[in-house]
Amino acid sequence: MSNQLIEKKKELKVLLSILSFAYLSIFIFFLYHAYLRLTHHYELTAAEGINLGFAKLLSQNKPIYSNIHDEPKYNINSYPPIFTVFMTFLFPFAGKTLFTGRIISLISSFLVGFIIFKILTKKTNNKLIGYTFALASFSIHYVFFWALSSRPDFLALLCSFTGIFYFLLFLEKFKKYKKKNSYYYLSILFFVLAFYTKQDFIAAPIATFLFLFVKHRKLSYRFLLHMIVAGLIPFLIINLLTNWQFLFHVFVYNVISFWEFPTYFVYGFITTSLVFFVFSLNFLLNKPLSLFSFYFLISLLIMFLHLPRAGIGSNIFLELFAIIIVLTGLTVSNLKRTPMILVAVILLILQIPLSISGGNLGSSFIDNLNYINDGFIQNLELEKKISDYVNKSDGNVLLEFPGYSIKNNVMTPLDIYKIYTLESTGVISRNELYEYCIQKNFSMIISFEDLESIKGIKNCIDDKYTLVETITMIFYPDFRFNIGPEALRKIKIYELAIAQ
């Protein structure tokens, strides 16, 4: 090995070590944030309470996919069953609280980082590249938010990336022996598991099929057949067990309904990941037919298709972000000259403040760091106040964030955004929702701003309820583009008016 090559490797190691130290600092901050989130008793998204509610139903041997017109009405379960089953399995060990779902997501996020490390180490033959960009996967606000959320996103992402990893191992052996091996079937298994954890995670198998179609056409047809068969078997079993309600809940009731096109999500994603995205585009231009290029493009397309959906969150970026982390690692490893590597490292370090702040352009880096954690402490007293309202209520309570009611064993979960979708698409009429609200005779309705966008519920509130108190608390959003630490959320508490 020439002295020049040895010197270049030393320089690369020094520069990557500086970058990895920067990412390690953010990862330590992530761990502190994880502690705050795991010990926080109240939900940060409505879905956390909804998922907890369905896991509790399953633990009581009650159906989690039932006819929405039967009692309890409008109980829509938007997700396939795997995450719910995981939560139920862990209840005896972790308790029937939000902690259970959050610890599943946190462990999944660590394992996603580990898979990124394994993929990059295998592709670059450089453990420092793998280590650096595995840490980089924890440097973004979206990961801070969703990796500690009681939702199926990170478990599904783990399954997708594990499937991709096993497919890469399969390709390695296939090139030598020209026949399928166990890694091939493991990749299919994990792609199916990803789909039955969260149905949006279909980019990996589609990308794998397209890659095989270009490189190994005969094998691509077999892969497609195996994926269809492997996917259909659990689909038929679950539907037969639920009298086809699984189909309605997870697919029919999840139709796209235009809430709004959140351009701020797009701007936020660009500012949050600009440097990573540019490196990924460079990889795409140089290797347009690689597996990860197909994965990048399909994931990008799926992201844009999801943007108009009611109640959409920045979790739609998670898979794409994990992919561009890998592509950035591959791009940096291919840089030949030290000055280019130095520029790449500087750009990636400069990206860190924007990444951790969710692309926020309106606050300082220190303000954004404080904001990530301070809200939990400052909101605790107000959240306890909401919980006390629910505890003291005489009857059922309708909440936009149902975790308060589930925690207090008041009623089963309601997905406000799915009810909005069904109202706007005509599956449930405004009149039906109005009558439902009247008949339930809720002793209290608590709105976190979006509940009143459902016209049938809003009309019921106007006719039968009196505003008792408005509680203002810090809003900890899953997106941060141009939202400063002063962002607040108004929670309106309504009580049933005295009968006239």
pLDDT tens digits, one per residue of 396-455: 888 888 777 665 544 456 787 788 878 877 888 899 999 989 988 888 999 987 888 889
pLDDT at 362 exceeding the cut of 70: no
d(CA 328, CA 282): 9
Half-sphere exposure of 406 (CA within 13 A, CB side): 26
Contact 313, 478 (CB under 8 A): yes
pLDDT tens digits, one per residue of 216-239: 999 999 999 999 999 999 999 999
For 187, counting Cβ atoms within 10 Å of its Cβ (0-12 exposed, 13-18 middle, 19+ buried), the class is buried
Contact 49, 406 (CB under 8 A): yes
Q: If we measure between CA atoms, which residue out of 102, 107, 211 comes closest to residue 163?
A: 211
Q: What is the pLDDT of residue 357?
A: 81
At 500, is the pLDDT very low, low, confident or very high (cuts 50, 70, 90)? very low
The pLDDT mean for the chain works out to: 87
Written as six digits, the tokens of 429 are 């009429």
At 37, is the pLDDT very low, low, confident or very high (cuts 50, 70, 90)? confident
Residues 6+ positions from 125 with CB-CB distance below 8 Å: none
> Going by DSSP bridges, is the β-strand pair 397-399/488-496 parallel, antiparallel, or unpaired?
unpaired
Contact 187, 166 (CB under 8 A): yes
Residue 166 Cα distances to 112, 156, 188, 251, 452, angstroms? 13, 15, 9, 28, 46
d(CA 257, CA 431): 19
Q: Where are the domains of the chain?
A: 3-39+78-356, 374-496
The number of angstroms, rounded, from the C-alpha of 412 to the middle of its chain's C-alpha atoms is 23
Q: Answer whether the bond into residue 72 is a cis peptide, omega within 30°.
A: yes
pTM of the model: 0.93
d(CA 287, CA 281): 10
d(CA 379, CA 78): 28
Written as six digits, the tokens of 288 are 């347009």
